[in-house]
Amino acid sequence: MSIVQRACPAEGAQLDALTMHCDHARLIDNLGLEQRSWWTPSRRHFRQKITVASQMRDLTEARAEFDWLRAGSTVGQQGALRDLDRAFTNFFARCSGYPTFKKRSGARQGFVVRDLAVRRINRKGGEILVPKAGRVRFRISRARTDICAATSARIALTNGRWTVSLTTPPVPRRQASTTPVVGIDRGVANSIATSDGRMFHAPGFSAGEQGRFVALQRRLSRQQKGSANRDRTKAKLARLRLRLRLADRRGDWIEQTTTHIANTYAAAVENLPIWYLTRRAKPKPDLDNPGVFPPNGGRAKSGLNRAILASCWGKFAQRLAQKMSVVAVPAVYTSQECSNCGHICPENRESQAVFRCQGCGFEHHADTNAAINVRDRAFEIEHQPGGILGDRVCQSRKRAASTVSVA
């Protein structure tokens, strides 16, 4: 677990030292990635295998040879190699993609501080000791106990804003005991819908911010690549877009919503392949006219993909699973199945919000109906005593009351 604080580096030598650490970490990461990319099965007979230990020894030799590299922090440079090794570990475990090179113009730069020394100077301010830079002040935004439990830190520069993330031991997940079970359906119009009828919406831009965002995008498209004006426009766009203002809002919404659900319910969610749902539309070639591609709905699919990603489905499920034990159920037909009689039919869902069963006439909000199906499927999966949902799942399937009278 990491807690993020706002850093306030001073101007001059201290700011230059922090920038130097970021540059060194990026350089070491790129060199280590290039070195590992050269290691192929055809070359493995000519030299020893490249590991994080061998790269640490190469770094020691490079620091002894180059004064400018020795002027940086050993901890930050070794941390870059450890991060690279962790990236390759995640890649081979199929948890992430292949590591990529970092650009100097990248949105996020940073380095690691392992020997942590943090002290509090007033109610809202603290200081962290950074090698070669001295004590850097930051704004305290978490409890003092969380800061004292930190074991390391990562200082990052994101679109002109310095932050320090303190690494703390993970908080134990909350186990379901006697709390009610709730099914959670993830959608676009309603980001989160629960089986008890509650709706949660991920925050977005206001009308004025959306207009400013579009205006900046249009200005950026007209400016020449590599120009100073284009760089300034990109900085304004980045401060407004996902990485700062909008990202802060969505991150705060995710934390508050998942904490509320973890403290109130035992949750069950759909197992959604988000990577598959957000794929681009495939081109449809015209068989009669080679080289001609008729319309394939790509623009509408792109809009749907943006709406899915803006709803933060993946991050929400990830943070919820980190805070509590969650039951993942198959998502197939949850939006077409009637929670009253179990009838499955595509015509049951008349629109985004209206669900009317063609079999029994049951009417309900479509998202709430899907959430009820998710909850009921969790009952079927966790029916054994001692499961995640406990003994409460050993009960008959509860159906929602119909809102209309059926003749």
CB 159 within 8 A of CB 235: yes
Closest-CA residue to 360 (of 399, 402, 396, 326): 402
Phi, psi of 380 (to 5 degrees): -70, -35
pLDDT of the chain, 407 residues: tens digit per residue: 555 565 655 567 888 999 999 999 999 999 999 988 887 666 655 567 788 999 999 999 999 999 999 999 999 999 999 999 999 999 998 888 899 999 887 778 899 998 888 888 888 888 899 998 889 888 888 888 888 888 889 999 887 788 888 888 877 877 766 667 889 999 898 999 999 889 999 998 888 888 888 899 899 999 998 898 988 888 888 777 645 678 888 889 999 999 999 888 888 899 888 988 899 888 888 888 888 888 888 889 899 999 999 899 999 999 999 888 888 898 888 988 998 888 898 888 888 889 999 888 888 999 999 999 999 888 877 654 445 444 333 333 333 333 333 33
With 0-12 / 13-18 / 19 or more C-beta atoms within 10 angstroms meaning exposed / middle / buried, residue 293 is exposed
Reading the block at residue 10, the tokens are: 């001073």
pLDDT recorded at residue 85: 94
Q: Are strands 108-113 and 118-120 parallel, antiparallel or unpaired?
A: unpaired
3-state secondary structure of 176: coil
Domain ranges of the chain: 2-167, 181-204+239-393
Other beta carbons within 10 angstroms of residue 179's beta carbon come to: 18
Residue-level pLDDT at 55: 92
d(CA 389, CA 267) in angstroms, rounded, equals 9
71 closest CA partner among 108, 113, 21: 21
Name the pTM for this structure.
Answer: 0.76
Tell me what pLDDT residue 121 has: 87
Instruction: Check residue 333 and give left, alpha or beta (phi > 0: left; psi -120 to 50: alpha).
Output: left
Element (H, E) at 145: helix 144-148
- 254, two tokens: 């995710």
CA-CA-CA-CA torsion sign (294, 297, 303, 309): negative
Query: Which active-site residues does the annotation give?
Result: 185, 270, 367
Q: How many helices (H) and strands (E) does the chain have?
A: 12, 14
